[in-house]
């Protein structure tokens, strides 16, 4: 027979409650939530493709570092545009980036 401690039971109960709450929120928001997530996903993908194309065609040398990845994932194409303009103007350099 398997015995559980009271802390393990409480931890499982909290995890179950959090999952139920998240499912409720997702179902309540429904279409708006999915539209928001889909929009962020598409914007992020377009941002990463734009960085690749800028590096390939214009040889800007924008590395895929954590700050670049995070800003592109959050803000998408506007972040890529800002980074590309600053890089082209010489306002930022990526010294030491691989």
* Domain parsing of the chain, residue ranges: 6-89
In the chain, DSSP finds a helix count (H) and a strand count (E) of 4, 0
Which residues lie below 8 Å from residue 94, measured CB to CB, with a gap of 6+? 61, 62, 63, 65, 87
pLDDT in tens, 2-33: 667 888 788 888 999 999 998 888 788 887 87
pLDDT at 19: 92
Distance from C-alpha of 87 to C-alpha of 85, rounded to nearest angstrom? 5
91 DSSP assignment? S
Q: How confident is the model over 30-38, as a mean pLDDT?
A: 81
pTM of the complete model beyond 0.85: no
Residue ranges of E strands in the chain? none
Comparing C-alpha atoms, which of 50, 62, 64 is closest to residue 86?
A: 62
């Amino acid at each position: 027979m398997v015995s559980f401690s009271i802390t393990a039971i409480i931890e499982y109960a909290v995890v179950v409650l959090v999952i139920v709450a998240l499912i409720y929120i997702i179902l309540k928001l429904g279409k708006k939530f999915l539209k928001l997530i889909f929009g962020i996903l598409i914007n992020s993908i377009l941002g990463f493709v734009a960085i690749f194309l800028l590096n390939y065609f214009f040889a800007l040398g924008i590395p895929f570092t954590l700050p670049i990845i995070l800003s592109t994932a959050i803000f998408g194409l506007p972040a890529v545009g800002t980074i590309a303009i600053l890089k082209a103007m010489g306002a930022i350099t990526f010294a030491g980036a691989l």
